Amino acid sequence: MKNKEIAALFSRIADALEIKGEIGFKVIAYRKASRILEDLDEDIEKIAVENKLREIPGIGSGIAAKIEEYLATGRMKKYQEALSAVPASLLELLEIQNMGGKTIHLIQKELGVRNLEDLKKVIADGSMAKLFGMGEKKVENIRKGIEARQKVQERISIYEASSIADEVIDYLKKMPKVNRISAAGSLRRMKETIGDIDILASGKAGAEIIGYFAKYPKALRVLAEGDTKGSIVIKTEATERQVDLRIVDDSQFGSALQYFTGSKAHNIKLRGMAKDKGLKISEYGVFKGRKNLASKEEEDVYRVLGLPLIPPEMREDRGEIELGCEGKFPTIVDYSDIKGDLHVHSEWSDGNLSLREIAELGRKMGYEYIAVCDHSQSVKYAHGLSPERLKRQIKEIDELNGALKGIKLLKGTEADSLQDGKLDFSDALLKELDFVVAAVHSGFKKNVTERIIKAMDNPYVKTIAHPTGRLISGREGYEVDLEKVLEAARKKGKALELNAYFDRLDLNEFYLKKARDLGIPITIGTDTHYAHGLAMMRFGVGIARRAWLAKKDILNTLSLEKLRKKFAGK
């Protein structure tokens, strides 16, 4: 649907108008139109075809005409006009957390800020903090936003990198002369963010395969096109990304995949082991003199060195090799171990899936259960459920479960932890639910440690959602003492969530390891609002594997029957 696409245009028009210094009804109208389209469940194109745009509450004739223009031509004149009147260097500042159009107008007018470098200067010299309505705390938050933005721009989100790699790999699989193919590098190791998109394939006709790769439909330009290596730049929605392909003989695919997966530190340790054994290891194989002892399969490379096959997610030189040498290598959770998703939103709050659609999608994924955890009443911006609406949802889930085969929906909520740590539903209502997730969604400027710990005192809370509140793309999260949260979870017998949404992945692998060591169970939920979001479970499992979590450490590896018993017990 183009709903969100057009909503983003209206939002950016409002930003541009504010940067120019405009205030009042025009800005409000575009902001309102953006919010309406964001929340609209029905396809805007369908509404336009039926000539019902002007029937949408809050959409006037002027806004409707602009929607029709965009749907018909793919362009919006007002959007072009608004943005052309504002320097691109100022528009770029909108990508920084806590920077809005009004703030940009103020610093441009009063301090002559024209770009990011100017912004850094007025923050550093203190002049920005002296402006009316600013202050040191707000400016410090903007400074942190700059740092976070610059950090993430250096790398690609795991979601974007995976999407690109999956599409390119699917395209290359159609080439008959490609034998085996895989992503490599940090993407295969499932890091939170990715440096380079590397793909490895095997086949004898290297030049032909590279030539086919260079003709990838989304390629903007070809950077390199050789017999065994190729590089292209492709266009994404937001920017341009480079993809590199390397071709090896099928007999060397295993050693090459091990080598190009990394990490660098892991490979250095392996080379040292090989040297001690009188061997030499490279992308071409493991050699004793000129004899190649292992190269076709990754497992053979590790076996020759006296090691089990180490999963890619663990290859960071964090003790995995030493455990392998001692015969104490752990068995970590597998992607196939997951029996259900423990955090999904429906159209009852801010999702776009019906309860039946969620169940059908879950069944296709082979799940036994999915926990529907819509927002509670205080999260008004997400259409949080009132107690009455939650009761109606409970009834609908019960009725649906009676008709469903092969999967069950768990009655849940993502209950907001209020400023005093209490939840915004009564215990009597929470008691009717199968699964309660407690979450913080407001008051980020204050330390929320005690607020989270207080929420754990509620007997019906099973887990704490996204415990740090961070967004990898540019929000550090709330102020929280995770050491205290972990200790409280251990004492109170509560789980903590690993939010699998690609821009959260919260808890991170460092604290997941600490939770594992303390015996704190983990729940994994995609926090999804859309159909495609359920597939993000693989990112959560990938991070769990990087943290060396075992099947027993994660609650949604349990069958529905065992999960219910677990919840009933504590």
Give 297-323 pLDDT, tens digit per residue.
999 999 999 999 999 999 999 999 999
Cβ atoms of 390 and 373 within 8 Å: the answer is: no
Measured torsion, CA atoms of residues 279, 284, 285, 291, in degrees rounded to the nearest 10 = -70
Check residues 296 and 476 and name the one with the higher pLDDT: 296
Distance in angstroms (rounded) separating the CA atoms of residues 493 and 457: 10
Q: At what angle do helices 61-73 and 25-39 cross, to 10 degrees?
A: 60
Distance in angstroms (rounded) separating the CA atoms of residues 532 and 555: 23
Residue 564: exposed, middle, or buried by beta-carbon count in 10 A (0-12, 13-18, 19+)?
Answer: middle
**DSSP assignment letter at 460:** T
Residue 363: exposed, middle, or buried by beta-carbon count in 10 A (0-12, 13-18, 19+)?
Answer: middle
Strand order in the sheet with 280-282: 280-282, 285-288, 291-294
pLDDT tens figures, 224-236: 888 899 999 887 7
Give the model's pLDDT for residue 238.
64
Q: Which domains does the chain have, with CATH numbers?
A: 3-153 (1.10.150.110), 156-248 (3.30.460.10), 269-325 (3.30.210.10), 335-569 (3.20.20.140)
Q: Which residue has the tokens 């996204």?
A: 466
Buried-exposed string 257-296: b where 16+ CB fall within 10 A, e elsewhere: bbbbbbbeebbebbeebbeeeebebebbbbbeeeeebbbb
Distance in angstroms (rounded) separating the CA atoms of residues 366 and 537: 13
pLDDT tens figures, 470-519: 999 877 888 999 999 999 999 999 999 999 999 999 999 999 999 999 99
The CB density around residue 511, as the number of other CB atoms within 10 Å, is 20
pTM: predicted TM-score of the whole model, two decimal places: 0.76
Mean pLDDT of 526-542: 96
Mean pLDDT of 240-250: 92
Backbone angles phi, psi at 14, to 5 degrees: -60, -40
The secondary element (H helix, E strand) that includes residue 490 is helix 482-492
- Confidence band of 23 (pLDDT split at 50, 70, 90): confident
Give the model's pLDDT for residue 568.
84
Question: Which has the closest alpha carbon to 409: 462, 496, 341, 497?
Answer: 341
pLDDT tens figures, 137-191: 899 989 988 887 776 556 889 999 999 999 999 999 999 999 999 999 999 999 9
Mean pLDDT of 6-11: 89
Q: Given a cut of 80, is residue 14 above it in pLDDT?
A: yes
Cβ atoms of 336 and 357 within 8 Å: the answer is: no
Question: Which has the closest alpha carbon to 470: 94, 197, 156, 152?
Answer: 152
Q: Find the angle CA(540)-CA(542)-CA(548) to the nearest 5 degrees.
A: 110
Cβ atoms of 213 and 172 within 8 Å: the answer is: yes
Give the model's pLDDT for residue 200.
98
pLDDT tens figures, 366-422: 999 999 999 999 888 888 999 999 999 999 999 999 999 999 999 999 999 998 889
Distance in angstroms (rounded) separating the CA atoms of residues 389 and 46: 28
**What contacts 24+ positions apart, CB below 8 Å, involve 83-89?**
83/12, 83/13, 83/16, 85/16, 85/20, 86/16, 86/19, 86/20, 87/114, 87/115, 89/114, 89/115, 89/116
Give the model's pLDDT for residue 557.
98
**DSSP assignment letter at 435:** E
Give the model's pLDDT for residue 152.
53
